[in-house]
Amino acid sequence: MQAKHNKTWKHKHLIDVDDLSIQDCSLVFQLANKYEKALKNKKSISPILKNSNIFNLFFEPSTRTRASFELAGKLLGANVINITSEISSVQKGESLEDTIKTVSAMHSDIIILRHQDSGAATFASMNTNTSIINAGDGSHAHPTQALTDAYTIRKRFKSLKNINVTMVGDIEHSRVARSDIWMLTKLGANLTICGPASLIPKSFHKAQNSKLPHVQVQTNLKKALTDADVIIALRMQTERQKKKSIPSLSEYAKRYQITKTNLQVAKKNCLLMHPGPKNEGVEISREVANSSLSKIEEQVANGVAIRMSLLQLIYTNSGK
């Protein structure tokens, strides 16, 4: 695999998917496809990021995103440094601005940032010359997950045009939902969002609101799943709901859990996805989660290829 300086990629940072054009997305997918095959066939991968310094700066707990970025960086030959809030000077009261500046000063090429505040990645990008990749900021955005989800769907259906995607769960608090909604509609999917009314932002209901992507809002699960090609179940974010949105997880599961029974109205062989981590036996029944419909593990594998692709595109275009 060759290191190519790609002139069509112009993004220093990746804050959210709405920065990306359809062509940008294709570029990410193409490169991810190469890496996915190389990984599967255990082919050697050229160390395009050799001698680069990537900082994983995580202010919130994470398993898959952090490991995925770390692995992606290492596979491309980068030095990957992990900093989590528990072991950093954040514990001593250091501000995000100072932390970003400190890390930038250590010859960093890319900072991968996960933070609990919406807008943290935007803020970070305004305070450093280092490239920022948003690995999740508050309830705002999770662009690498959205690209992974789009990639996973695309692999099955070739294109997202007119694919019926139904997203179920806590839309209100989910950064994955927001990035997915923008990503999948941009690529042409028909999107339905479903969940308890208290977990769907009111502004999605208002059809006249042209500044948001067009989505169908549905509070009835069966109707939402009818003819779905793809179902994305979202984690119930109990830590962000502060006990005011739903009576309990079991009440939620009774009405919104994806089960074998209610999958009968969806298209046969539909894809079932979940960005993780799952609340075991809440969003998806165990039986279905372990069935052949589930692409949950494939999402994780694809996530590594997508992140390799992004690291390369951003690194080779950051003037280094």
Partner 1 sequence: MNILIKNGQIINPEENQKKYSDIFIRNGIIEKIGINLVCNKNTKIINAKGLTITPGFIDLHSHLRQPGFEYKETVASGTLAAAKGGFTTICAMPNTNPTIDNKNSLEKLKDIILSSAKVNVLPIGAITVSRQGKKLAPISTLSNNGVVAISDDGDDLSDVKLLKSAMNIAKKSKLPISQHCEDPILIKDGHMHEGWVSNRLGLQGRPREAEINMIERDIAIAKELGAHLHIAHISTKEGVMLIKKAKKDNIKITAEVTPHHLTLTHEAVSKPADFQNRKSINYNTNAKVNPPLREDDDVLACIKGINDNTIDAIATDHAPHAKREKEIEFPKAAPGISGLESAFAVGMTLVKSHSITFEKLISKMTIDPVNAWNLNKIHGLEGIGTIIEGNKADLAIIDENKKWVFKKDQILSKGKNNPFIQSEFTGKVVITIHNGNIVYSEINN
Binding site for partner 1 (CB under 8 A): 10-13, 15-16, 18-19, 95-97, 115, 117-120, 122-123, 125-126, 137-141, 175, 178, 201-204, 206, 209, 211-212, 242
Burial (CB < 10 A; 0-12, 13-18, 19+), residue 199, is: buried
Identify the CA nearest to 302 among candidates 156, 173, 111, 193.
156
Identify the CA nearest to 64 among candidates 278, 259, 292.
278
Q: Nearest distance from residue 184's CB to partner 1, in Å?
A: 16
CA distance 147 to 71: 17
Q: Nearest distance from residue 56's CB to partner 1, in Å?
A: 19
Q: Do residues 140 and 175 touch, judged by C-beta distance below 8 A? A: yes
Would you say 279 or 318 has its CB closer to partner 1?
318
Would you say 129 or 250 has its CB closer to partner 1?
129
Would you say 15 or 110 has its CB closer to partner 1?
15
Q: Nearest distance from residue 90's CB to partner 1, in Å?
A: 12
Beta strands per DSSP E along 117-163: 131-137
User: Identity (one letter) of the amino acid at 303?
Assistant: G
Would you say 129 or 290 has its CB closer to partner 1?
129
Q: Nearest distance from residue 205's CB to partner 1, in Å?
A: 11
CA distance 175 to 116: 11
Query: First and final CA of the chain: distance in angstroms?
Result: 19
Q: Nearest distance from residue 116's CB to partner 1, in Å?
A: 9
CA distance 115 to 263: 35
Would you say 117 or 298 has its CB closer to partner 1?
117
Q: Nearest distance from residue 172's CB to partner 1, in Å?
A: 9
CA distance 315 to 280: 37
What residues are paired with 83 via a beta bridge? 57
Would you say 79 or 116 has its CB closer to partner 1?
116
The three-state secondary structure class of 55 is: strand
Would you say 158 or 211 has its CB closer to partner 1?
211
Q: Nearest distance from residue 259's CB to partner 1, in Å?
A: 29
